[in-house]
Every structure is written in structure tokens, then in C-alpha cells.
Structure 1
């Protein structure tokens, strides 16, 4: 054990000795803390070092100037440069301490260690001394920033302290150095400022020991922009006696001033930006000039407009075409009366030589070639040239429309309308089954001849008559026939919402059907009222059959029904009504779970399944028993030894109860136990009643 300890001791000793020798040969030195030291003015601090040699010569330098020297461990006081004697202390361990550091002590400090027989060691420190930031203010040069001019600069000053970090903001958004904003030192330069640079500028200064900020609002001067000169109302010319106003303005900062001139002469008493002219006269026609000026930047622009004032016809030109009474001719008319001078009118498409002033009428005896042709009336006036157009057309294709109402006497009124597109308007004549309706009672024609009203219309005879309308104008005619029919539904559809609680029922009606209303009917469970969360009960007949839940007018083609339970099934249909008579209901449409059996039928089947299974089970148990007894009956006709009978009974006793008990039933009594065995008896045993007793037992 001692030998081992001696060996270990020697190894440790020589290892430490080797390390000591190596360290003595390498005079390495390094900071004991951060090499970058930041300090506040007036505080104390130490630049600490660590090294690997003993009693080295430590020298401290600042900007290549020796400030302190000492040999560590020899007891000799350090040498301090005279200008640093009141501030620096070179400690016995070689570290350098500052007492009440000042801004002038900021700089780079180098330390060297020299040991005889060892390499020189070096380390470096950077000391930055800060004062607290106070009195930050922003300044501008030049005083005004003008859009499009040279650079505009903001710079900050402080009463005390310097910033380590500077940030510039415009309206709360940090600015970045780039082609438009240039940041250098204490300056922010705006390259070619524009109106978007207007806003609140803020500079934020920060060092490790304090924070400061300052704000300044900058307005970039611009304008006047391209001015806008508007004449109100907007017209090519003005009529004597009218009033008008001229408004002029342009964007700018500050807002440009406005002055007016008429034909080169200043207009006295005009309001800035607006010039009003009331009761205009012809001598006020001419050029009006608007002059705009930026008071701060001195920039100015002007713009002019010419105002023409004439006496012209009131209103505007108009054209029309009419049928000449008692003939197939057309009369084209164009007019624009009044004015000085009167407007000259012409129809060059109808007659090259016909002109007139104020009003012009041209009659065409054979107008067939003018069907669909646009005819223009040209209007000539010293200050106005225009035209109005009119196109004559024969009756175009049309379809009669049918409607029905109930009048104040409760009578059903069926109405047919034949409205044909034609210029001039077509005159409509009516006939029923070839007979003119004007001679028929109960038939009324509207003043414009486009409506035929059949009073007290009889649904029962709806299909017996054909009504014919003929639309006529000088260019042609067209006829259409209509046979009215009773109330009917041609198509019905149902659209539920995503939740299945609301449906929209839509339907269509044949175009010739007479309908005054609709009954919306439903069959199914009760609906609920969404506004009160209460069930809306219907009659028992409505639940088992159809019941009316809504009544709609004759023009309706849809109905919304709410309060449905999406888990239940409902049937809906629409019944058309004509007066007091109902037509055939529409086909049924269903809402809720898909088609199939109704709810009661499904419930009945569900209830019958257990009963059916029980009947099948009974049949499965009864038939084996019947078969067994019949077999015994056949075997009993022949002599059977007592032994065989005993064996048979034993088999029956062990097998039959098992079959019956598996079905959950009691074993029927064995009637053979009540008979005395007889070897010579071959007659039938009393098993004929066994099936009846077994069925009764089950």
C-alpha cells in the first residue's frame, strides 16, 4: 500500500512541477472580466487581469502612452503617470482601478506582462465612459421644407450626455437609412422632400445609463398643384338670365390664395375661390382667369376658361311619329320652339328639301320601307347642333298574359293582356271564338285597348272559348289566341335549409290558368314557432290528412315554412284557387328523412318483430313433438316387448325434455305412464290429444 502511495505521490508531484514550469515559461495574461467596459461618469471601476507567471512586470498603456507600471510581489510601489495620479490605482495583483472616472478616460487600454525567461503577455481593454443624456432638442435646416427642393435636414443636440444608439421615427414608424432618408451622426437628411414627408418626427437617444427623446412637427410646403377651374352648371353655353358660378382651387401647403380677372382686368369684390354671375347677359361672355399663389414658397399658377352666354331655345329637341287618322300614312314630327335665333330642323332621311324653324312635320304615305329604320331630325343652332332619333316599328312578337281577381261583388274577373311593341303604338281588337267581344256582355276593354276583362268568369266553361287579340299599326299587324283554363299547378319544388328546420316551397302555374290564390297544405307532425319555442298545434285531420297552413295571393310563387323538426317527415302540396273554386292539388313534396314507410308503420313493424320470433320458436318446438308422437303411434301397432318399451321410454325421457327446455318451455306430460304395458296390444295409444295439450301448455 505504501509503495503504491509513493508512486502516486511522485507522479502528482512531477506533474504539478511540469505545469508550473510550463506556466512560468508562458507569461499569458487576459482580462478577468469583459474586455469592453462601460461606465457612468463619476463611478469607480477596475480593469482586472489574470496571468500564469509569478512576480511579472505589469505595464498599462493608453493610446500608446504608458500610464502605470509595477512589478507584482516585490513590494515596490507602482509608477503612475503624473496626469493620472489622482485617478488611477495599480493594484498589487496588477489590475488597474479608476476613481471617479471622467469622459476623458474613455479609450483603449493595453496591459503587458514581462517575466524574465518567459514570453511577453498582452491583453487589451476598451473603456467607454457615458454621461446621462439630458436636454435633447431637434432643429431643422433650412427652416421650411419645400417639395421638390434640395435636401432638408433635421439634427439633434443635447445639453449633456452622448448616445450609444440613435433611432429616428416619422409618425411612429422607424425610418431606415436609404436613398430618401440619410442618417449620419446627429443628422437626418430628407433627400428631395415631398408632401408625404409631412408629419411628426421623433429622435430617440440611448446609452447604457440613460434615455432621451425629442419630437418636432415638420410640414412640407407644396403647390399650388395643377389648378382646377369648374363652371357650374356644366354647359357648353348659358342662356341670358341664367346664373352660374366659377370655382377655382388647387391643393397646396399652405392653401394657395385665389384672385380673378375678366378679359385681363381684375374683378373687384370676388370671393376667394369662387366667382358668381347672376342674371347673365351676353356682354359677360369672354375669358375668365384664375390666379393661384403659395404665400410661403412664392410659387404661382393661373388657368383660364371661356364662358359663352346666348339666348337659346328652352328645353331640348323632341321627335315623335304618329299614325294619320283614317289612312295608313305616318307623320314624323320634330320640334324645338323659341330661342334667338330659332333652331333649324330637317328630316334628311325623309325629304332633303323640307326644313323649318322651331317645328317640322313630314308625312309619309307609304311607310312600309321605314319599318325598323331610324329616322333622324337634325337641329342646327349657332351654339348647339344636335339631333333626335325616332324609329317606327310594326307590331313585334308578343305573348298574351293572363291574370285574375275577385271584384268587390265577389265575382271572378279573368283578364287577358296583349301588349305589342310597336311605334307608333298599336291598336288592339278582341274576338271570342270568332265573334267581336264588343257585342258580348260581361266583357270590358281598357281605354288603351290592351286589356280584356271578363267579368263573372265561369271556370266550368273555361276551355270552351278561344280569345283572339289582334295588334295593328300602319306598318303591320299580328294576332295571338288564348284559351283560358281552370286553376292548376304545373310544377312544385321544395328547398330545405342546411339545418332542415325551414323549407322554401316554390311552384309554377300554366300561363293560361286562372288563379286568384293558393292554399299551402301540410300533412305531418306539429310545427314549432321559432320566435316563442312553442309548438304550433294543428287539427287531428291535419296530422292524419292535409291541412292548410298558409294562404297566398295569386301573384305568389313561393312560400317559406319554418318550425320543422329535421328528424321528422312532412308532406306539402299547393292547391290553386280561382275565386271560390279550388283546382287539383300539386304533387306531394316531402321534407325530413328519406322516403319509405311512415312512422306508425315502422313502429308497428318494430313491435311485431318479437311476436314473430316467438311464433317461429313455438313452431320449431311443436313440430318435433308432433313428429315424435306420430312415430310412436305407428310403432305401437306392432307387439313390443316390455324391454323394448322400457328402452323407448328411457330414450324419450332423456331426449324430449332437452328439446323442449332449450326453448324455455315446460315438458308436456307423458300419457304413456298412465297405461299398463301389454305385450299383445297393438291398438293406438292415446297420443291423439297430445298435440292439443302441448299447444295449450305452450
Structure 2
């Protein structure tokens, strides 16, 4: 680039000074001398600015106008700034769900145009690219491309952005046995996250004596760590170990814990046989504890089984076990220096019974016992066989009651013919077997004494009920019977034909008569019974049979019921009493009728009760005591109304009061005596008769 300073006039010598003013106002002298031309080689962006020429002679000094020199350049390599700012070995980093801003700047004249690329894919145009809530999937390479459109030039810069994210959940802790159960291995794992979390064990490590870190810590990007603890420094009861995990994406650390302890009980050994009796299983277990214990079998003759955790089963073919030889199970836990053990000694069973011979009466329930002398290993149930050699199961006849050490057989309702005989109980195990016989003797009850019917009689002419009485031979209080069977059967039936009564035999059954009908009498003290509901036209036979539990005695001779004896005296006496009562009632009714109707039948009345003149008399001295009055209440005129002389008032005859023997109510009777004939003017004497009878 060259610049010339032109002067219109001036007296020399003239000196030229070239000044450069930057955008910021800083003025510097770039050249001076007597030449009016200045050459600038290798022009760069720093030459941009205002230029002025100052000409000076001995007279004065003059300055030219400013001239702007614009240098076209760029773009330079962009510069990328990441906010928030975090640089790692791999580049920039950001935490998940943060807002990340990428700023690109490249020196250029004219100013550059910017384009952003994510993994070679254009994602944004502009100098600043902002990602709101960045995610782990946004990890990758981000490139900024700067372009000078005037010069058609471009530049580019790429950075690596890593998004940090925390693992899910929290660390998990576990403890495992190590070095053949002589040490503990503490494992702490927290998979996931970027970068891998930092894990560190704390707790009872000081007392346990922390050893070298296991090589597994170097694998899996440090997402897990493991340490070894020797058994001699461990506490067997209970120890707590904690693993603390931290991560750049988390503000607070998190932890997990694990405990180590020995199993609370001792190892347990037992033996059992498969259902098909093909194999004998020796099981050993030591449950509980952390970590799990190692269990293994050692037996005679090389019959052993390698170690397994927590439980172990030694399988032997049935019948190959050694009798009387111990089988030992060993159990080892990392917290204990010595191993624990339990033993099984297999033996053939031995059976026992309370009684070899059992005797009972018929009809009772009898129990046969069979038990093992000891709890043998392996255990097997006891099997009962009946007197027919059949395997006994629970039925209506047999009942089994089982436990691991004994089995009882109950024979219900024992019968002499069916249940007497040899019963056998048997058992076996993988070592051997045993059986024992029990003899059951079922006896009949003694024969009861004979009984005889002494009375069989109908209790009425209707012939529907029969009263029976019997007696037992021998001394009755000696016992020997429990009840009676009272039986009856039809012999013949009376049928009426043309007004006559005939008898026809009923031939039924093999013995020529009808079958016997039985009535059970369960009272051994009973000696009488009434049979009801009989057919009046049928003739029956009765017999009595004593029974002693299930033993039936001999039937008594049959007896036909007799007709009831007919007695006339009660009938005659009853008829006489009835007739007397009937006659008394008629007599009383007749007397009452005569008394109430005495005026209609005076002769009958007088004949029964007598005449009036024989009754007591009473004179009435005062005529004013009672007057004879007419029906209308006036005074009756005896002599006639036309008769001269003084009027005489005739009193009414007084009533005759009678009382019948059957009634307390007086019955009035009237008796009027006629006046004597004579002169009408003569005084008349009136007599009133009153008869009264008391009750």
C-alpha cells in the first residue's frame, strides 16, 4: 500500500510526518521524512485506521484531512466459550439438566457469519448457541464455522462437550465369603452415571483391619469396589459396614450399609426317603447368617458331598447306607475360625407293642398298639396288616392313628368270626426293616338264662292290645342278660262268610308260619310289656328271648293270648244304679209339675199335700187388716147393691204358702170359706187359713 501527500505550494525544505489513529483514538507516528510518499508492505489488520499527513517548513505546519484505511481480513480461527465453564481432560463438561451456552467469536473484516454443528449436523446459526436443560444424550462434538462473505473465506473450531449424570438410586452393599470362607469380601456397587461415582468403605474397618483393595475396583469404570477382611480380626456377633458414594452431578453423597453375623442356631441334619423309595436323602442346613455358611457332608466309605452354601443334600441309593456308621455334616462361616458339625447315625428300626395277645368281647372297639423303640433315621411310617394279610386303611371297620414314632389300629365293633386272628405291624427304612404280630381274640358273651312267658292276655274285647308278663329262670340278681327280644307272629285270621265266623290259617315262610316280628326291650329289669296296634281278626303267638349283649338265648315256648274274662256283676250294679237315678229324676219332675199346676189338678194336689181344714187357723179380729177388693181396686159388694142395711166389707182370703221339697220359694194357695146362709143383714164370720211348710 502507498500513500501520497500533495502540497499546492510551500518553501522547502519540507518535512512530512505520517500519523495513524486507531479506532480507540490512539495516535502514533508511522513514518516521517522529506518524501511525500509512504509505502507499507505486508499490510495487516493492524494497519486499519485514520491516516493524516503533516507538512512542516520553516514558516509553518499544515495537516491534511484524515484518510480511512480499511483492511479486509479473516476470519480467524473461532474461539468458543462454554458457560458454565468446566474443563476436563476430554474437553468441556456440563451437568445434566443445566442450561449450557456456547459462544463463538472469530476476528474478521467484515464481521463473520456463524453456523453451529453437532456431530457434523447443522443445529444453529448465530454466534451464541444455548441448550436449555441439557441431557446426557447431548454429549458429543460441537463445531463453530465462521464465514467471511466478502472474501468468501471460512474457519472452523470443534470442542468436545461431556454431560455428567448421576447413577440411578443409591449404592448397594453386600458381603461375600472369600478365600474358602476364611475371609470376608465387602462389595459396593453403584452402576450407571458418568463419570463413575466415587465409592469408599467406612464403619468397623479399623477393628477388622482393612486389607488391600481387590482388583475388581479397577474394572467397570470404578462403579464398584471390594475389600478383603481376614476372619481373625472380625467380630462374630454383629458388625456394620457402610459404603459412601459421591458423584459430581449430586450435591450430597449417599450411602448403603451391610451387616455380618453368624447364624443364630446350630447346623441341622435330618434324613428322608423319596416317595418311590429309590433314594435316601441326607439333608444338612445352617440357615441365617451373613454371608451364608459353607456346608458339606463326610460319611463312611467315601460317601461324601462337596461344599455348598447354606444347605447341602447327600443322595444315597436306597439300601446302600451304612448301618451304625455316622454321617457328619460340617459347616464353616467366615466369622468363625472353627467349623461346626452335626451327625446322623442310621439304624434299622425295632418295633414294640404293649400286648402281644389282646382278648375282648364281641361288639366292643379294641385298640392294637405298635411303636418304635427310638426315633430311627431315616424315619418311615408303620404299616398295619389285618388278619387277612391286607394293608389296613381308614374305613368304617378300621381306624388308624399315626405319629412319627407309633401307629395304633382300632378295630371297631369286633366280631368273633370276622376279626379274630393275627394282626401284623411292619416298618422299614433305608438300613433295614422290622415287624411284630399281635393276636386278637374276640369272645362271645355267656349264654343268658332262659325266660318263660307267664301271661299273655288281651286287655279288652277289641283284641288290639295284648299284655305280656314273663319270668327269668334262676336267680335274677345274678345278671347275665342285657335285654329281651319280644317276638310275635300271625297264626290264623278269622273271616266272616254269610254271617258266620270261620278261621283260615296263614301259611307263610319256610316253617309254615309267618315271619316273627321283633320288639327290642333294652331294660334287663323289665318283666312286662304291652303290644299295641294288633289286628283284631288275627290270632297271634308270642315268645320271649333273653339276650346278653350280642349273645341271643333260647326262645321261650310260644303263647297265644287269652280272651279277657267276662264279669256280670259290674254290669248289673251299673244298670241298677242307672235305673234308680232315672226314676228319681222322673219323680222330682212330676212333683214339680203337680205343685206348679195345683189349680188344674186339685185332687192330686190334695192327695199328696192334704186338705185345708187340717191346716192351722188364725182369726182376724180387725176387719181393717185386709179388704177384699175387686179387680179394679174397689170394695166388693157381697149382698148386692140394692140390699138395705149397713154395708159390710168382706176381706180377701189370705194366701196359703206352701214350699215343695225341691224348692225354697213359697207357693201361695188361696182358700175361701163360703158364708153361711141366712139373713143378709146378719154379721158374717170370715176365717183365713194360712199353711206354710219349711224347707
Q: Which category of TM-score, normalised to the shorter sequence, fits these structures?
A: under 0.3
Larger helix proportion of the pair? 1
TM-score between the two structures when normalised by the length of structure 2: 0.27
TM-score between the two structures when normalised by the length of structure 1: 0.27
